[in-house]
Amino acid sequence: MKVAVVGATGLVGSKMLQVLEERQFPVTRLIPVASERSVGKTIKFRGKRYKVVSMTDAIGKKPDVAIFSAGGTTSKEWAPRFAEAGATVIDNSSAWRMDPGKKLVVPEVNAHVLTPKDKIIANPNCSTIQMVVALKPLHDRYRIKRVVVSTYQSVTGTGVKAVNQLMNERKGKPGEKAYPYPIDLNLLPHIDIFLDNGYTREEMKMVHETKKIMGDDSIRVTATTVRVPVVGGHSESVNVEFERDFDLQELRQLLAGSPGVVVVDDPSRLKYPMPVDAHDKDDVFVGRLRRDESQANTLNMWIVSDNLRKGAATNAIQIAEYLLKQGILKLRRTKTQKTAVTV
C-alpha cells in the first residue's frame, strides 16, 4: 500500500502521520508531499526518515491512496491529477465537500455511501464531524427537526500562525497575527469570512454539511461559530428538537452504545467533557444531557472532540480503513518491499 500524505509538514499533515502510525495502517511505502519550499526536507515515520517530495514526483510514484491536507486551492488543482493517476484521494479541505458528485463522509454516520467509483472523497469540517457523530443515533431513533449549535473552537483550527499569536500574546511578545484582534483573554465570534446573509462561511458549512452527511435536507440547522483561546479541542453547545419525545435515560444509553461516542455526564461529581480531556483522543465526548424546559421534545447537549484528530486526521484515515475493509482499496502483494523515499 503506497500512501501519499499531501501537506505532510503542516499541523494536520503531521497529525495524519501520527494517526497512521498509531492505528497501524498498512503503509508499505510512504510518500510525504508538501509545497516546493519544503521539498527535500525530511519527516519521521515509524522510526525512519523520509524525504518530502513535490506533487509531480508524488503522482509519478503512483500512490494507492492520497490523503490531502493542503488547502482548497491546492486540492482543486491537484486532487483530480492524483485521481487520474489511479489514487483514491481523501481530501480534508472544503474544496469538494458540497460538490454533488463527491461523497462527504464521516464513517460512523455514512460510510456505506462509498463505492469503488469514488476517487475523490471529502472529509467534512471539523466542527461538523463531531456534531454529526453524536446526532446520528439520535436522528435514527427520534428524528431531528432542528439543531441550534454554538461552537467554541480552538486556535489549532486556524493553524500554527494562530497558535503562535495566542502564545505570544500570553507572554506579552510581539509577533505575526492570524486574527484581526487579540485572541488571548478574548473570544472572536468570527470564523472564516462573513457572507451576504450575515453568517460566516464556517457557520454555513455546518448547515449544509450536516444535511449532506445525514442524508436529510429536512433537518434545519442554525449555527454561531466562535474562536476561543484554547490550543486544542473544539466544544459545542447543541440544542436539538426532535419529532418524537424521548426518555433521557434511554437517550443517554443510546449515545453510550454508539460508535465513536463517549458519554461523560455526571453533574453530581462535576463530570462533563472538556477540551483538555479530549486531547489526542479519537472519540467524541458528550455530556450536559438535559431536557430543554422551554420547548417539548428538545434536548441540550455539550459535545467536545480533538479537532486535529477526529475533526481532521483520524476521520480521513478511518475512511481509508473502511475502503480497505470493503476491498475498495486493496493491498498489493510483491516479492520485495522497498522503502524508496527513505534516506
φ, ψ (nearest 5 deg) of residue 140? -60, -35
Q: Which residues contact 309 (CB under 8 A, 6 or more apart)?
A: 15, 19, 280, 281, 282
User: The domain 2-95+311-325 belongs to what CATH superfamily?
Assistant: NAD(P)-binding Rossmann-like Domain (3.40.50.720)
Q: Which three cell numbers stand for residue 309?
A: 484528530
Radius of gyration of the chain (CA): 20
Selection from 289, 293, 292, 311 nearest residue 302 by Cα: 289
Residue 175 CA to its chain's centroid (Å): 28
Sequence-ordered list of residues with C-beta below 8 angstroms from that of 221, at least 6 positions apart, any chain: 146, 147, 149, 206, 207, 210, 211
**Architecture of the domain delimited by 127-154+187-307:** 2-Layer Sandwich (3.30)
C-alpha cell at 99: 460538490
**What is this structure's pTM?**
0.94
DSSP one-letter code for 266 = B
Q: Active-site residue numbers?
A: 126, 234
The predicted pLDDT at position 333 comes to 67
Helix (H) or strand (E) holding 300: strand 298-305
260 CB burial (10 A radius; 0-12, 13-18, 19+)? buried
Cα 21 from Cα 148, distance rounded (Å): 37
Distances from the Cα of 198 to the Cαs of 153, 157, 217, in angstroms?
Answer: 19, 22, 22
Segment 219-245 shows an average pLDDT of 98
Is the pLDDT score of 298 beyond 80? yes
Domain boundaries, the chain: 2-95+311-325, 127-154+187-307
* Residue 186: count of CB within 10 angstroms of its CB: 13
Question: What is the band of 341 on the pLDDT scale with cuts at 50, 70, 90?
Answer: very low
User: Is the confidence at residue 340, as pLDDT, over 50?
Assistant: no
**pLDDT bucket at 330, cuts 50 / 70 / 90:** confident
Per-residue pLDDT at 336 exceeds 80: no
Burial 304-342 (b: 16+ CB within 10 A, else e): bbbbbbbbbbbbbbbbbbbbbeeeebeeeeeeeeeeebe
**Residue 246 near residue 144 (C-beta atoms within 8 A):** no
36-52: average pLDDT: 95
pLDDT of res. 334: 56
Q: Would you say 134 and 303 are in contact if contact means Cβ atoms under 8 Å apart?
A: yes
CA end-to-end span of the chain, whole Å?
19
Amino acid at 319: I
Is residue 298 a contact partner of residue 292, using CB atoms and an 8 Å limit? yes
Please give the single-letter amino acid code of residue 214.
M
